[in-house]
């Protein structure tokens, strides 16, 4: 929508997420939820892979990271700027945890962080002024 003010045209932006941003947020939420449910359903395999203490540490951190990501996405829907940074932090911690426990984790962790967060940043960039 454009308005004329003192002979100059100015584009007025609406506080709407749009289809792409909404779809991407839903995809991030669902992928984190499915990943967590997959992890929960395969607890015995992870317990066999790690020792008892390492398993509980891994389980605790993974649960925290996933819940942080899920809550962050919900608050991004509610136009909270801090939630974007919280989501970035959760992906960063998840990537570090993955890099520690898997041999090729470092490479895939970088993709895991850069791709979804980069796309989210691009989609949020023009709406950044609406986030509180």
Q: Considering the entire predicted model, what is its pTM? A: 0.80
Sequential pLDDT tens for the chain (132 residues): 555 555 455 555 778 888 999 999 999 999 999 988 988 898 888 788 777 777 888 888 989 999 999 999 999 999 999 999 999 999 988 888 877 777 666 677 777 778 899 999 999 998 899 888
CA distances from 109 to 61, 96, 101 (A): 16, 7, 11
Q: Following DSSP, what letter does each residue of 34-62 receive, concatenated?
A: HHHHHHHHTHHHHHHHS-HHHHHHHHHHH
For the chain, which residues make up each domain, given as ranges? Answer: 17-130
The partner residues of 3 in beta bridges, in order of sequence, read 10
Enumerate residues 6+ apart whose C-beta is below 8 A from 30. none
The length of the chain, given as a count of residues: 132
């Amino acid at each position: 929508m454009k308005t004329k003010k003192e002979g100059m045209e100015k584009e007025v932006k609406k506080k709407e997420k749009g289809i792409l941003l909404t779809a991407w947020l839903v995809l991030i939420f669902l992928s984190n939820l499915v990943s967590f449910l997959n992890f929960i359903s395969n607890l015995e395999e992870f317990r066999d892979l790690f020792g008892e203490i390492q398993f509980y540490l891994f389980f605790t951190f993974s649960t925290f990271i996933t819940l942080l990501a899920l809550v962050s996405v919900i608050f991004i829907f509610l136009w909270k700027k801090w939630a974007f940074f919280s989501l970035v932090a959760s992906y960063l911690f998840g990537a570090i945890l993955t890099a520690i426990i898997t041999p090729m984790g470092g490479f895939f962790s970088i993709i895991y962080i850069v791709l979804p967060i980069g796309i989210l940043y691009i989609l949020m960039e023009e709406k950044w002024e609406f986030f509180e």
